[in-house]
Every structure is written in C-alpha cells, then in structure tokens.
Amino acid sequence: MKLLILNGPNLNFLGIREPDIYGTQTLADIENHIQQYADERGHSCEFFQSNSEGTLVDRLQQAHLDKVDGIIFNPAAYTHYSYAIHDAVKAIAVPTVEVHLSAIHARESFRKESVVAPACIGQISGFGATGYTLGIHALEEHQRRLT
C-alpha cells in the first residue's frame, strides 16, 4: 500500500511539548518507527506535517491525485473544530484513520469530540506512537475486507 502519514499543528514539537502527555519521542523518532514497520510489511510511506489548516487540506486533496491507498492522520487541535478538514477527508474518499497520541476522551471536555472522525474509517487514541502502526494495521484490514 501507498500510505500518507499526515500530522497537524504542534506535532513538530513532540519531545518538547508537554512530554508528560505526549511522550519524549520526537516526530522524527515516530516517523522512523513507522517507516520501519511499513517497510517490514511492504508498504511505502510519505510523511507530511503542517501547522496550517489550509496546507493540510491541500495535502489531503493531493493524496487523492497521487492515488494514495490510505492515510494515517493526526489532525491534532483541528480534530475538534475543523469542518474544512472533515470535508476534505470525506471528499477524497481515501480510507483515513484518525490517530491521537493521548487518550482524547479522557482529557478536557473540548478534546472529547472529533469533527474529523465521522469522515474516517476509524479513530485510535491513547496508545502513544503505537497508534500509527495500529492505524496501518487497520488500513490493511479495511483493504482486505474490500477485496
């Protein structure tokens, strides 16, 4: 599978930002782990991170044009209010798994609702960086059910 691993705002500050919540791994550490996991399973990965909502929408649309097979997406704070990202995920019709490092349903009340999740095939939260590899597994299972 051709995968896009997409990360939203402030995830470029992993390892610095609230390590008690988000851990001490950097985004590069997580990407290296994902790449190794994907390589072992015969998948190719492209990684992209932006702090800008419009740039993330543009990258989602490009994923459709690039014929990406699946997306693992941590929309970060945009999870809770970006209908533009929801609409982009829905419009491209590329199977997308929403991933969060922290257990968003066990945190502040504003973090408990995702406006992006209804456009995705599933959501994984609370498993730290392992959530990304769980997302790849979910996409594999989704693809198996379709064939």
List, by residue number, the catalytic residues. Answer: 22, 100
With CA atoms as reference, report the closest residue to 63 among 76, 74, 75, 73: 73
The edge-to-edge listing of strands for the beta sheet with 122-125 is: 44-49, 2-7, 70-74, 96-100, 122-125
What are the helix and strand counts (H, E) for the chain?
A: 5, 5
Pairing of strands 2-7, 44-49: parallel
